[in-house]
Amino acid sequence: MQRTAFTNLSVGIAVSLLVNLTSVAQAPGGDQDETPEIKAVIGAPFSAVGIRENVRVTSDGNRIVHKITTGLYRDGQGRTRLERETITVINNKVTGEYDALFPKGKVASVAQRPYMKVVDTPATPPEITLAFGRKRIGPNDQGWSAPESLGEKSIEGIHVVGTQKVYTMAAGRIGNQDPITITVQQWSSPELGVIVDKTASSSIGISSHYQLTQIVQAEPDPALFKVPVDYRKILVKPRGGRETTPSAY
């Protein structure tokens, strides 16, 4: 009974992940954790550890910190893996397969999406986006200032370019009486097409810092992009239907 409940929960989460490839968790102040998606770039393999800290400073000076660590991998074929303690996501855009691994029960939710196969596009610096107050703010949403160049530098031996933008959240958008400003500074690698360092500081005492550490520009272990043989696979249809297979599958 407990295993069945866990399996059903795994399927439900996997279906959600098919809608949005970015893992989300609530952080202090109702903010969100938004782990940057790794683009399926061919010929730019790497592995790294992403660390995000959301910080809220209260009126009495107390600091509430929410920290999330994610393992990130991409091979030369463009296959990617995002790894956390309770869930790992493998996005195999070579075959179009999308796997959500749940180590607690050794269950893998598997979706076949042939229409999502990798396209050989060059790596480009990611655009600036924001997750704040349970709102996702895209790069083209109203409220952004014009981008300001921060120049170029090296972080952990990786060449990065910096950009700063300021977002003004209108009064009433999240129940706020007055407008809120959030200043975002983002340093990205043009060669890898990933964010290496990003800070977001708001006018109401909520801030976040994301950094990519332990960066290795080499092919990760190919086994990282496959479902382990001792996991039970559950086939999930992208539109919400599902098919189950025997444990030996």
- List of residues 6+ apart from 107 with CB closer than 8 A: 6, 7, 10, 101, 231, 232, 234
Write down the CATH number for the domain with range 2-244.
2.50.20.10
As a whole number, mean pLDDT of residues 38-65 equals 89
As a whole number, mean pLDDT of residues 144-168 equals 96
> In terms of Cα–Cα distance, which of 72, 67, 88 is closest to 25?
67
Q: What is the pLDDT of residue 243?
A: 41
Residue 209 — very low, low, confident or very high, per pLDDT cuts 50/70/90? very high
Q: How many Cβ atoms sit within 10 Å of the Cβ of residue 216?
A: 12
1 and 9 Cβ atoms separated by less than 8 Å: no
Integer Cα distance of 185 and 163 in angstroms: 6
Q: What is the pLDDT of residue 110?
A: 94
Query: Which residue is it, tokens 């009974």?
Result: 1
Domain locations along the chain:
2-244
> What's the pLDDT tens digit per position in 57-85?
887 888 888 999 999 999 999 999 999 98
Write out the two tokens for 201.
């500081």
Integer Cα distance of 179 and 166 in angstroms: 12
